[in-house]
Chains A and B, each alone.
Chain A
Amino acid sequence: MKILVALKQVPDTETKIKVAAGGTSLDPADVKWITSPYDEYALEEGLRLKEAKGAEVTTVSVGEEKAKDVLRNSLALGADNAVLLKSTETGDPLAVAKILAAYAEGKGFDLVLFGNKGFGSDNGAVGAMVAELLGISQANLVTKLEVSESTFRAEREGDGGTEVVEGTLPAVITAQRGLNEPRYASLKGIMAAKKKTIEEVDGAAVTAAMAVSALTLPPARPEGRKLDGDAATQAQTLLGLLRDEAKVL
């Protein structure tokens, strides 16, 4: 089995967002970069399939030079190969999907694994787009995955319940928290990864379908009001305010 895992480098979830000069992007100063947490579940699932069934796991990232950290880490965790598809950030999920699909096309991957969304851009779109561009099946937000020779069965977070999706391979699966518990890299793995090479390829030239024209911070919420009195009084006051002042009940 051949498995492709797409990884995205994103700002750490603790990051305080500052807007860069120009007003359209994140100020990268002081940002700590990590692998998008959902992608860690995707990689872990790929590695578990490799251990259980024997598979070749290739990781791929669309990004700039610094994204090699994420790929290096994936090698330390047990990926067989890692590929950087060099490209600059466009803020367009379709452009990223096209670059990934152009790379994956014709390489015979049985599974293409993603996190269900990349932290930051929060589109949750690239996996499904790649599935469409490659003309293969998809299951998003997957919390349990079983694969056989030519089919898969996935449990996904659907509308107010768990949906069981069955389909044929090849397939795109996007991982949700709960799918597995990602491992940590061992010292041995980290040392071995240092010696491996990360393949670098220019990402396919694509035209963006959209562009970010402004990045702004949400307005600060007005100073709130603390309610006095004992529990019963506080409860009464609160319901009164919610009903008559905020008008939300």
Chain B
Amino acid sequence: MILVFCELKDGKIRKASLEALSEARKLSGEAPVAALFVGASCAGSSDAAAFGADAIIKVEGPALGAYSSDLFAAVIADAVKAKGATALLGAATPLGKDVLPRVAAKLDAGYAAEVTSLALVGGKLQAIRPVYAGKAFATVDFTSGIQVASTRPNVFSATECPKAGAVETLPVPAVDFKAIVKEILAKGGGKQDLTEADVIVAGGRGLKEGANFKLLEDLADAIGGVVGASRAAVDAGWGIPHSMQVGQTGKVVSPTLYIACGISGAIQHVAGMSGSKVIVAINKDPEAPIFKLANYGIVGDLFEVLPELTKAAKALSLAK
């Protein structure tokens, strides 16, 4: 069976987790799929049934209120063993990427990160994943008894496929954890993480100064997106945090829509966003390399185009 480690956010299953769950359902055919939830409360987990979970496994307790990598890894590995699962999937979220490799090592299992395609070949997972920051794709064949993979957000579709979702609970193991998240600073204002965003409006050096990022925020708000940046914008001292950087030394993103404004399209930037489904480039230089990638290009001054776009988008009420 395939076990899917699912995350809850504000009492709802994260979209990226539903994508992993749906993919597990698709791969499994008639074989069982179980969704695993770990936390102080697993309220909201019952929705996993609609997305193909035959079983919903909860590991709940006050000790799981804050994230401890070693405790969570023990919980997840125990669940894999308890259910006799041969494959473990989870979304490549900040938490998933932190804990899943640790779980894999615990289970002596191979681990493939940020996979964009999965198949079962001879009963074992085969994964396709971007390497060299998306400049190439590797097909990896697992040989280990248990196989672990994290799925890249926004790549797999979350499709309803109602199953029983029989609820089970497993005990919290008595592990003396060694590290734990003590506090969370500078919460991103409830904004979505770039790696999970569906729509990204990104700005580069062409924005000229940090205050002009307001133009990007306005457009992002109007179309339901989040704002990203090139390294040049982050390094310019405009107060743009590195967490907003897209590219080889920033975030690798895979939204359905990426709007690059005043970004030239350097190879290291492209590495982080070439997996976007639809790319729009707004640049005053018709020769800018970003146009080679863009599905739609606007050669023009972003200071004129952006306000027009925001105005038109508001008129259409496009924010989801």
Q: State A232–B147 Cα separation when bound (angstroms).
A: 52
Question: Is the CB–CB distance between A215 and B184 below 8 Å?
Answer: no
Which of A8-16, A42-50, A192-200 forms part of the interface with chain B?
A8-16
Question: Is the CB–CB distance between B140 and A211 below 8 Å?
Answer: yes
Chain B residues with Cβ below 8 Å from A214 are 138-139
Question: Is the CB–CB distance between B184 and A239 below 8 Å?
Answer: no
Please classify the interface of chain B as helix (H, G, I), strand (E, B), loop, or mixed, using the class held by over half of its residues: mixed
Closest A residue, CB atoms, query B93: A159
Which of B40-48, B158-166, B208-216, B295-303 forms part of the interface with chain A?
B295-303
> B110's contact among A131, A158, A176, A210, by CB below 8 Å, is which?
A210
For window 149-200 of chain A, which residues contact chain B by CB distance below 8 Å? 153, 155, 157-168, 171, 176-178
Known: A160-B188, A160-B193, A242-B278. A235 touches B308 (CB 8 A): yes
> B138's contact among A141, A162, A212, by CB below 8 Å, is which?
A212
Q: Is A88 an interface residue (CB 8 A)?
A: no
Chain A residues with Cβ below 8 Å from B17 are none
Please classify the interface of chain A as helix (H, G, I), strand (E, B), loop, or mixed, using the class held by over half of its residues: mixed
Closest A residue, CB atoms, query B294: A224
Q: Is A218 an interface residue (CB 8 A)?
A: yes
Question: Is the CB–CB distance between A231 and B301 below 8 Å?
Answer: yes
Which of A63-71, A92-100, A104-112 forms part of the interface with chain B?
A92-100
> A211's contact among B143, B223, B243, B268, by CB below 8 Å, is which?
B143
Q: State A218–B130 Cα separation when bound (angstroms).
A: 9
Question: Is the CB–CB distance between B133 and A119 below 8 Å?
Answer: yes
Question: Is the CB–CB distance between A162 and B70 below 8 Å?
Answer: no
Q: State A248–B298 Cα separation when bound (angstroms).
A: 18
Q: Is A32 an interface residue (CB 8 A)?
A: no
Q: State A242–B139 Cα separation when bound (angstroms).
A: 32
For window 77-113 of chain B, which residues contact chain A by CB distance below 8 Å? 93-95, 97-102, 104-106, 108-113
Q: Is B167 an interface residue (CB 8 A)?
A: no
Closest A residue, CB atoms, query B226: A160
Question: Is the CB–CB distance between B113 and A13 below 8 Å?
Answer: no
Question: Is the CB–CB distance between B267 and A14 below 8 Å?
Answer: yes
For window 197-236 of chain A, which residues contact chain B by CB distance below 8 Å? 207-218, 221-222, 224-227, 231-232, 234-236
Chain A residues with Cβ below 8 Å from B268 are 13-14
Chain A residues with Cβ below 8 Å from B256 are 248
Q: State A157–B95 Cα separation when bound (angstroms).
A: 10
> B131's contact among A122, A226, A231, A235, by CB below 8 Å, is which?
A122
> A234's contact among B94, B97, B271, B308, by CB below 8 Å, is which?
B308
Known: A132-B106, A161-B186, A232-B308. A210 touches B132 (CB 8 A): no
Q: State A171–B182 Cα separation when bound (angstroms).
A: 16
Q: State A161–B185 Cα separation when bound (angstroms).
A: 6
Q: Is B51 an interface residue (CB 8 A)?
A: no
Question: Is the CB–CB distance between B110 and A209 below 8 Å?
Answer: yes
Q: Is B232 an interface residue (CB 8 A)?
A: no
For window 7-62 of chain A, which residues contact chain B by CB distance below 8 Å? 11, 13-17, 19, 26, 37-38
Residues of B within 8 A of A (CB): 67, 69-70, 73, 93-95, 97-102, 104-106, 108-114, 126, 129-144, 147, 178-188, 190-193, 199, 223, 242-243, 248-250, 252, 256-257, 267-268, 271, 274, 277-281, 286, 291-301, 304-305, 308-309, 311-313, 316, 318
Residues of A within 8 A of B (CB): 11, 13-17, 19, 26, 37-38, 91-94, 97, 119-133, 136-141, 143, 153, 155, 157-168, 171, 176-178, 207-218, 221-222, 224-227, 231-232, 234-236, 238-239, 241-243, 246, 248-249
